[in-house]
Chain A
Amino acid sequence: MLDAWEPNCVLLEGLPETPIESASDEQMQLPVAAVAYKSDDPSKSVFAPFAEFSPEWVGLNWALKRQAVVRFIDMPAAHLFARTWPEDRPPFDPFALIGEALDSFDGELWWDDQIEAHEGSSELFESVSELIRELRGDEAIGEFDALREAFMRLGIRQAIKAGKSRIAVVVGAWHLPAVERWQDISASVDEELVARLPRVEVQASWVPWSYDRLTRASGYGAGVLSPSYYEHRWRTPPAERTTRWLARAAEVLRSEQMDTSPASIIEAARLAELLSAIRKRREPGLGELMEAIQSVMADGRGEILRLIHKELVVGSRIGSIPPNLPSVPLVRDYEHETRRLKLIKSGEVEFDIRKPLDLERSRFLMRLSAIDVPLATRLEDPRQLGTFRERWLLDPAPELALRLVDASRYGNTVREATESRLIEELDELRSLSELSKKVEVSMLADLPNAALAAVERLEQVGAASSDVPGMLESIAVIAWVLRIGSAREVNASPLVGLLDRFVLRSTVGLPGASVGTNEEEGERLGALITPVAGAIDGLLPPTTSESWRKALLETIKLSGLSGHLAGRLERHLADLQLTSFEDQALAFTRALSPGNSHEWSSSWIHGFLGDSATALLYNQAFFDLLDNWVTGLDDRVFDESLPLLRRSFSAFPKAERRQLAQRVAHGATAKAETEMDKERLDKVNSALDELFGGLG
């Protein structure tokens, strides 16, 4: 259409501040967004996203290539941020209304069908304009829209004044009547309208955008729900649109391990064509195509379509901008904040988060790592330490700037970007432990909205999940956040209810999850189970703790636990004083009785003893039981059990091992005098030497 008219001036709906020059930079890869923000407050901003199929981009590109004059003629952001504006968008979506009237599915579909199918026809413009005039009626449009249109008309007049004879204007259909009949309103009226508008200083730049973000509403415009499909339409000649789209779908399905034959592409194409005929549409739209894919290629299963929706329909394209573009707002905010928080030098820093400034620094660094801008790394495992001290290693590497630009599509300030990125990531996550880490990050980095969203998502996933280990992991994380929350001034109260429900759900799932585990899983599960009782103690109502203890007691009675897990649980119950010494001694004998394989028994011992020999040193009965078991093993079994036992014992602290060895030496000699033959004793002693690493 532009080619036919060959304008020497192209006027576009969009922010006049848009830095047009950089649009032709070869390093600019779509999708990108123009951003304008208040100079002293980057959080006040507006984004105008462009994809290669956006009409404004097409116009801009056309003009830049042919060196025609090009301007954006919407209301400048300078006025936009100077006051607050009423939300007076059109009271309804005009095309939705038409779609409804025609019993079509929705407005967007109707628009596609009627307008895009007539691509390039100029009569179309006339009729659309007439249609919109009808829809707008005589009612005055809102103040905001009126002002925007005044600016648009002023833009046209200016272009004419500058002597441009062939002007093309690209605006949304809604504004068509105002722009087309710009002469109906005299220049002085428009000028007066905009004359006294307040203005503030703004900066503008580009930021990289993504198809995923295009689907969310932003700036003036509503989101585009299927960017990848529009790109496909834009790039593919009409005759090939259906088959090429279906071929792409087949490819995506194959990448999801679903067999999709070339024949099914043909079948799906036929179905889509017929469907569009039944629906009286000119050619298959996205709806028909997706239904054909579902019915022919995906066995009718909607969940498969949902699986490929993101890759196929939304698309994963991410844009990029030239590296040295000035004043990307996120970079400016980053620079400002690092200076304010004095985080510009490199090297180790230590924070005391009871001091407000240090707390702020810590939060800032956490936010940065959440958006992949690793300005600093934490030097210690946070869980191991007291709650007030933090040590970080600052490393302001130059490539951070690139990462910041990359992250700038999420927001204009570090805080904003972190929050919206965290929220976006939530949709993708299904795993409880990952989700609980998101809760932790957003709570500790003081991002209440992200925290709320993460808690909600965790709750949702938790309700449907039977992943007990994941749930236990979440419990540990949540409990930890609750414990340190007060020191970091976190409002963690929504977590209490969540924690309570998670613990109760785990009590139901625990016995089932424990049975049939192999040694490795059992060991992992054991490590997750034992911290729970301590973690929830005092945080939750006593009834919940009580149910948890009951679940533990129930689980230990089950057969089919792995050796390590059974031992670990037995010990845990002993530590919680839920079992009497007699119970424990009985469990010990039972675990070491010949009915169990010696591997099982040795892992049980490992599980029971854990990393400390105290249970053996202070309980003569346990010591005797173990002693009897070891000495009672026949040679072959003893040799096989030795490495397993060594594994348990080697974890003990040196001093404990020495004490144990002394006791063994003493006990063994005492026994040898009475009942054991010398030869056998020597064997045991040499093995024990090996076991205790020559400490005896």
Chain B
Amino acid sequence: MNKQHLRLHAEEQFHKELAALAETDRRPRPPNWRLSPWAVADYILGAEGVTAKYIGDRRLVEVAVATLATDRALLLLGLPGTAKTWLSEHLAAAISGDSTLLIQGTAGTEESAIRYGWNYARLINEGPSEMALVPSPVIRGMRDGKIVRIEELTRMPSDVQDALITVLSEKAIPIPELNQEVQAIKGFNVIATSNTRDKGVNELSSALRRRFNTVILPLPTTLEEEVAIVQKRANEIGHSLELPELASDLSEIRRLVTVFRELRQGQTDDGKVSLKSPSATLSTAEAIAAVNQGMALAAHFGSGTLSAKEVAPGLVGAIVRDPQPDTEAFREYLETVAKKREGWQDLYLSCRELV
């Protein structure tokens, strides 16, 4: 393991927890699973000696784990920043001990990313041969019986998506050029994620859709839950970026999350004032980024504690995406809500300086 890597894979970062769980896990494991479904759920949701990776509805995680154990594919849907990728990475790490079999869906993703490609030098030199074949992550996952992750499935062109149908129903990929096929061994499965905000980019065909069980990840339901997530993740990231340790100030994070939630919901938390929602997503992930930015500012240029001065730029950056209407919405928020709220003067003034 190389300590210099900017970001570690889940199975590297939490290898101790995974090992400890595997040690004590006495329940039956599906073929080629590193852990039993119970232990996977514990790994994700946290248990004794295990940190929680996903804070939220326990039942959703159980449905996700059970889905993978029935060898149906899992589709995680949600707004940007609802921990879809995060959850899929940890599921793969816990089940297969490997979260690296990854396909990133983009408009330019080709069928070869799902099936196989060719090493053209060899292909021309030797003709079609196994050596000339470049296996996709899907083929590797099928051969090793591992979980394959597909990110942003709906961003792929539809014809590429449909290449998955054979994979999911036949659990095999034919290679006509070699007169062979790759058959998946047990333990292979697919976790796909997709963003509900981009719905309709390349909507899944119903043939493909019905091969997935769908779990929709919600935004955190309560303020406390969201504050906890932001604080935990911001600290972890801060840690890996080796930011100097900050006096942990929950109240500053709480204020920031409150602003995000209120703008997102289009009303204040007490439901008394309705607000304009800016065009930005304002998900939990954005709140984490804004806190991190604030932490970096505080550590390098500020007093060392996170205060309104440091939080404001991140806040404004996240909220104002479309200058004219978003600025208007945020200003309205500052004037009608922030200004009047007790103890929010500093935040109000710091933000007002910027917009």
One of B38, B63, B70 near A291 (C-beta < 8 A):
B63
A302 CB within 8 Å of chain B: yes
Q: Given contacts A275-B62, A278-B38, A278-B41, is CB(A295)–CB(B67) below 8 Å?
A: yes
Q: Across the two chains, which residue of chain A brings its CB closest to B213?
A: A295
Q: Across the two chains, which residue of chain B brings its CB closest to A279?
A: B62
A486 to B: closest C-beta gap in Å: 31
- The reply to whether B70 and A295 contact each other, CB–CB distance below 8 Å, is no
Interface string of B71-98 (1 = CB under 8 A from A): 0100101000000000000000000000
- The reply to whether A267 and B72 contact each other, CB–CB distance below 8 Å, is yes
One of B38, B63, B274 near A271 (C-beta < 8 A):
B63
Q: Given contacts A278-B38, A278-B41, is CB(A299)–CB(B63) below 8 Å?
A: no
A270 to B: closest C-beta gap in Å: 5
Chain A residues 287-308 with CB under 8 Å of chain B are: 287, 291-292, 294-296, 298-302
- The reply to whether B210 and A261 contact each other, CB–CB distance below 8 Å, is yes
- The reply to whether B216 and A274 contact each other, CB–CB distance below 8 Å, is no
Q: Given contacts A274-B69, A300-B77, is CB(A295)–CB(B63) below 8 Å?
A: yes
- The reply to whether A270 and B214 contact each other, CB–CB distance below 8 Å, is no
A143 CB within 8 Å of chain B: no
Chain B residues 265-306 with CB under 8 Å of chain A are: 274
Q: Given contacts A271-B70, A278-B62, A291-B59, is CB(A300)–CB(B215) below 8 Å?
A: yes
A275 to B: closest C-beta gap in Å: 5
Interface string of B30-49 (1 = CB under 8 A from A): 00000001100100000000
Q: Across the two chains, which residue of chain B brings its CB closest to A272?
A: B66
- The reply to whether B65 and A278 contact each other, CB–CB distance below 8 Å, is yes
B321 CB within 8 Å of chain A: no
Kindly count the residue-residue contacts between A and B in the assembled complex, taking CB atoms under 8 Å apart: 57
Which residues of chain B are within 8 angstroms of A530 by Cβ–Cβ distance? Answer: none
A624 CB within 8 Å of chain B: no
- The reply to whether A300 and B72 contact each other, CB–CB distance below 8 Å, is no
A105 to B: closest C-beta gap in Å: 8
- The reply to whether B209 and A267 contact each other, CB–CB distance below 8 Å, is no
A256 CB within 8 Å of chain B: no
Q: Given contacts A267-B70, A271-B67, A278-B41, is CB(A300)–CB(B216) below 8 Å?
A: yes
A685 CB within 8 Å of chain B: no
- The reply to whether B215 and A295 contact each other, CB–CB distance below 8 Å, is yes
A259 CB within 8 Å of chain B: yes
Which residues of chain B are within 8 angstroms of A243 by Cβ–Cβ distance? Answer: none
- The reply to whether B216 and A302 contact each other, CB–CB distance below 8 Å, is yes
Bound-state CA distance A275–B41 (Å) is: 11
Question: Interface residues of A, CB < 8 Å — how many?
Answer: 24
A264 CB within 8 Å of chain B: yes
Q: Given contacts A264-B210, A287-B59, A291-B59, is CB(A278)–CB(B215) below 8 Å?
A: no
- The reply to whether A274 and B213 contact each other, CB–CB distance below 8 Å, is no
Which residues of chain B are within 8 angstroms of A294 by Cβ–Cβ distance? Answer: 63
Which residues of chain B are within 8 angstroms of A263 by Cβ–Cβ distance? Answer: 210
Which residues of chain B are within 8 angstroms of A277 by Cβ–Cβ distance? Answer: 37, 66
A265 to B: closest C-beta gap in Å: 12
- The reply to whether A271 and B66 contact each other, CB–CB distance below 8 Å, is yes
| Chain A CB within 10 Å, residue with most, of B38, B66, B209, B214 | B66
Bound-state CA distance A274–B74 (Å) is: 15
A492 to B: closest C-beta gap in Å: 25
Interface string of A291-328 (1 = CB under 8 A from B): 11011101111100000000000000000000000000
Chain B residues 179-221 with CB under 8 Å of chain A are: 206, 209-210, 213-216
Chain B residues 303-343 with CB under 8 Å of chain A are: none
Q: Given contacts A287-B59, A300-B77, A300-B216, is CB(A278)–CB(B210) below 8 Å?
A: no
| Chain B CB within 10 Å, residue with most, of A259, A292, A295, A302 | A295
- The reply to whether B213 and A267 contact each other, CB–CB distance below 8 Å, is yes
Which residues of chain A are within 8 angstroms of B41 by Cβ–Cβ distance? Answer: 278
- The reply to whether A274 and B214 contact each other, CB–CB distance below 8 Å, is no
One of A259, A261, A275, A300 near B75 (C-beta < 8 A):
A300
Which residues of chain B are within 8 angstroms of A296 by Cβ–Cβ distance? Answer: 72, 213-214
Bound-state CA distance A302–B196 (Å) is: 14
Interface string of A248-284 (1 = CB under 8 A from B): 0000000000010101100100110011011100000
Bound-state CA distance A294–B216 (Å) is: 10
Interface string of B46-70 (1 = CB under 8 A from A): 0000000000000100110111011
Q: Given contacts A278-B41, A295-B67, is CB(A301)–CB(B216) below 8 Å?
A: yes
Q: Across the two chains, which residue of chain A brings its CB closest to B64?
A: A295
Bound-state CA distance A355–B171 (Å) is: 82
Bound-state CA distance A261–B207 (Å) is: 11
Bound-state CA distance A295–B59 (Å) is: 11
| Chain A CB within 10 Å, residue with most, of B65, B72, B206, B210 | B210
With A267-B72, A298-B214, A299-B209 already in contact, 18 other A-B pairs whose C-beta atoms are closer than 8 Å: A263-B210, A264-B210, A270-B72, A271-B70, A271-B72, A274-B66, A277-B66, A278-B37, A278-B41, A278-B65, A292-B63, A295-B67, A295-B215, A296-B72, A299-B214, A301-B214, A302-B216, A463-B274
What are 21 A-B contacts with C-beta separation under 8 Å? A259-B206, A261-B210, A270-B72, A271-B63, A271-B66, A271-B72, A271-B213, A274-B37, A274-B69, A275-B66, A277-B66, A278-B38, A278-B65, A278-B66, A291-B63, A294-B63, A295-B63, A296-B214, A300-B75, A300-B213, A301-B216
Which residues does B use to contact A, with CB under 8 Å? 37-38, 41, 59, 62-63, 65-67, 69-70, 72, 75, 77, 206, 209-210, 213-216, 274
Which residues does A use to contact B, with CB under 8 Å? 259, 261, 263-264, 267, 270-271, 274-275, 277-279, 287, 291-292, 294-296, 298-302, 463
A-B interface, 5 closest residue pairs, ranked by CB to CB distance from nearest: A300-B214, A274-B66, A300-B216, A295-B213, A275-B66
